[in-house]
Amino acid sequence: MAFDLAARLAERRAADLYRQRPLLETPQGPEVVVDGQPLLAFCSNDYLGLANHPEVIKAWRDGAERWGVGGGASHLVIGHSTPHHQVEEALAELTGRPRALLFSTGYMANLGAITALVGQGDTVLQDRLNHASLLDGGLLSGARFSRYLHNDPASLASRLDKASGNTLVVTDGVFSMDGDCADLPALAKVARARGAWLMVDDAHGLGTLGANGGGLVEHHGLGLEDVPVLIGTLGKACGTSGAFVAGSEALIEALVQFARPYIYTTSQPPALACATLKALALLRRESWRREHLAALIGQFREGAEQIGLTLMDSHTAIQPILVGDAGRAMALSRMLRERGLLVTAIRPPTVPAGSARLRVTLSAAHSEAQVQLLLNALAECYPQLESADA
């Protein structure tokens, strides 16, 4: 029997769930050209505006001059260069952990950490709204897998009572599609009381939260005993690429020995690590970026409330506008694009059925005037969407 891929694709189109890749023809930034059209973008995770920063670009260029462009081999063969090591030391300092381990992608970091820590006879418990990479890691680990109610310590506690073997509790720090933050102090308390380890993927909190940009864990002042396994990514607020796991000496050594996505892949380009080092320095030094971003978030939420938009419980750079139906979300996204604004519609299966939304992401590179342009367009378009449904 042949694979009927055409039928599967047609079915996805009919359900308004077909995905296409927009072609970006400029560097990351608020003003971009996508598919030949100049647009003001509100859909990038470049939260601090570092992806096209001249000092970061120069660090990459200088790094390539000194270190070449390829990692050459895996970290355990001959691919672990001085810039990689320096990034790990900088990340350990930023997160307040003894050590950090550099991965090529966030997906690999999550798969590597979970599958190295738990297996058959163990238990992994995850928030229902965790990122796909976390869920995949849990399923691939072979451990008993269960999901607790979103951000609900009581639900987690009831599942912990039934856990067996080594138990790993896994949560996003900032949830990527809702923008809300995990109640880390409560989750850590529940996990510690039952001898479980808490693993936090702070991909969307690192750089934007915490006095020094250390993320949600720093914001709450949680130590190594509260969050033994901390994940962060470098392709969002840092503006470069890659990811890391931070934790104890024993944790990092265990991952070096047992994390297959780390062991069996070529290291990232050393020049990329040079760029990341510069981005981390800017992230820590230029606190005005976090302050400006926080002001834009307040501006957007206040303006959206006046328009009557349904926002979600988020005070982060991720500001979803809940629409509900996938077709309506696509229609609103198209209306904004016709007015020169790029805001991506997020549909199932990325989010639950009936909760399609426009995922607005704000950046320190945006100006107040640009955020006001978005609000003005939403004030014009949203009533038209509502009237079309009537």
Binding residues: 19, 106-107, 131, 176, 204, 233, 350
- Can you tell me the distance from the alpha carbon of 235 to that of 149, in angstroms, rounded to the nearest whole number? 29
| Other Cβ atoms within 10 Å of 3 Cβ, number | 7
Name the one residue in this structure whose structure tokens are 């890749």: 21
282: left (phi over 0), alpha (psi -120 to 50) or beta: alpha
Residue pointed to by tokens 């920063």: 53
**Alpha carbon distance, N-terminus to C-terminus of the chain:** 46
Q: Which of 212, 180, 182, 214 is nearest to 199 (CA)?
A: 182
Structure-derived torsion over alpha carbons of residues 49, 50, 55, 59, reported in degrees to the nearest 10: -170
Q: Are 85 and 203 in contact (CB under 8 A)?
A: no
Q: Is 162 a catalytic residue?
A: no
Q: Which of 204, 220, 278, 292 is catalytic?
A: 204
Q: Coil, strand or helix: which one is 100?
A: strand
CA distance 65 to 83: 13
Q: Please state the three-class secondary structure of 133-162 as a single string.
A: HHHHHHHHHCCEEEEECCCCHHHHHHHHCC
Question: CB under 8 Å to 63, separation ≥6 — which residues?
Answer: 83, 270, 271, 272, 273, 274, 275
Considering all CA atoms of the chain, what is the largest pairwise distance in Å, rounded to the nearest integer? 64
Q: Tell me the C-alpha distance between 306 and 317, whole Å.
A: 19
**Candidate list 220, 236, 278, 292, residue with the active-site label:** 236
AA letter at 233? T
Give the active site residue among 81, 141, 176, 241: 176
Neighbours of 328 (CB within 10 A): 18
Can 363 be counted among the known catalytic residues? no
204 has catalytic annotation: yes
Alpha-carbon torsion 247, 364, 51, 343, what sign?
positive
Q: For tokens 């392709």, what's the residue?
A: 235
- What the block records as the tokens of 132 is 């796909």
Residues 182 and 151 sit within 8 Å (Cβ to Cβ)? yes
Measure the CA–CA gap between 208 and 190, rounded to whole angstroms. Answer: 26
By annotation, the residues acting in catalysis are 176, 204, 236
